[in-house]
Structure 1
Amino acid sequence: MLEVRNLTRRFGERTVLHDVSFGVPANGMTGFVGANGAGKTTTMRIIMGVLKAHGGGVLFNGEPLVDADRARFGYMPEERGLYPKQQVLDQLQYLGQLHGMGRHDARTEALNLLDRFGIADRTKDKLESLSLGNQQRVQVAASLMHHPTALILDEPFSGLDPIAVDSMSSLLAERAATGVPILFSSHQLDLIDQLCDNLVVLAEGKIVASGSAGELRARARSTHVMVTPPDAGWLREMPEVNVLDVAGPRAVVEFADEESAQRILRAALDRGSVTEFAPQRPSLAEIYREVIR
């Protein structure tokens, strides 16, 4: 497990991280979300040793994270760092060898990853000749080459088409299933909801929510969907219900308690029919929007 504990970081007089703490469990993916400038990239750079913290630290499997640990991590920085004029296969093989892989193993792994990303026919092309999306695929492949013990990925899905997103999602899920902690940032909230077992939300350098998907959903406000033809507008007049949205017969509502919910349901049945009455499961995207308000 990767643990961030009480990180503080300043740039001049400005504090950009305020006592930031969260965990990245093994066997799952943790989404790291927040607006631009929230402190996500700074946190990732501290984890990888690119920046020093002014307070706090990072643990890996319960011990302080050291450079030998970081050397076994896979890291995809915000600023892409590959060589534009070098052939794709050559530089992936080279990067694998820098991580201690043998030449043959590095070449084999590079070919496997390029095939998984659908660009096995571009091995001899210079990186700069590829589209931005294909360059992104190569950058992600570089972070996976050496079978890292943890993955720190800054916007890995940026610029990828849906097929590449599916390929990368599958690869990351495979690595997570082997016990690799994965932390990735993204502005694509639908992907966060689809892929992540855990969520960390950062706003203005402070953690405003963190935990498993189940924990966060349990903390979120409880809403119900009620469909009561022909028009659910009458619910606005009921004292025990907070109507969040009404569109014809469909309403999204909050109840004060379960007894109130049952009374409103009986009132709806007395008025006519109820074709749907069910709790609404909030998406992680909705949880994110709620906690940063």
Structure 2
Amino acid sequence: MWPNSSSSSFLLTGFPGLEAAHHWISTSFFFVYILVVFSNGTLLLLIKEDHNLHEPMYYFLAMLAATELGLTLTTMPSVMGLLLLDHREIGNVACFSQAFFIHSVSFVECGVLLAMAYDHFIGICYPLRNTSILTNTRVVKIELVVLTRGFVSVVPLILPLYFFSYCPSCVLSHAFCLHQGNIKLSCADATFNRLYLVVYVVVIFVLDSLIIFISYVLILKGVLSIASREEQAKALNTCVSHICCVLVFYVTVIGLSLIHRFGKEVPHIIHIILSCLFSVSSTNESYNL
């Protein structure tokens, strides 16, 4: 029992109104789960074994695959347990740990997309200096900064959850644990958590997306300066997959945030479906790059 906690466990929600179809829904999630593990696992193994892929672009790609794999492995076991076995109970430690990893890995993925935009910018705008700017040492430093920012900065958000008291029912509104779900059940003053989350999301997501946008404006400017149409098309093709990844990630995050904040009239099952889609929305992002 954690300090000031009125319950040692929470109850997860499946898909309200579709309980009879849980086993059928689990089939779709199972195939998606296998696809995520297989595609990203294969990509990581390929990059590890092929020395021709030991370049900054593929290092960042491997990190993106690892984050997608980590997010799926964090969420899907509880979702599959709920759908297949109707296992709804999850302990405090497991719940808060799951929330920590979900939010941390999401912020890490945001940082990886930013790093990949930087890699594209250097590769297209400074092709002759690419290897001297993005050395292996610098790539490792960038990855360490991305990991540290993602995991350490989430600690102040999740740590207070261990010390809050919670409502007796303790029924979470999702198929896995999220910070916002725990906060809704808290009987304590969660003002700091709410403010910290808003500020952090603005600083991380808004600033990162702005930098990515600026980098692509500069990339487009660099591409237009290339005389050959064939070279222009080749340069743009290297960016298309990354742009798709960015759009999928940010559109999903923005959609979830808007529905969470302003979608009180939206059916609750839509909230749950979108949350589950977010956990697997990057299934083929890195595979398609």
* TM-score, normalisation: structure 1: 0.23
Rg (Cα) greater in structure: 1
The structure with the largest strand share of the pair is: 1
Bigger RCO (CA 8 Å, 6+ sep)? 2
The structure with the largest helix share of the pair is: 2
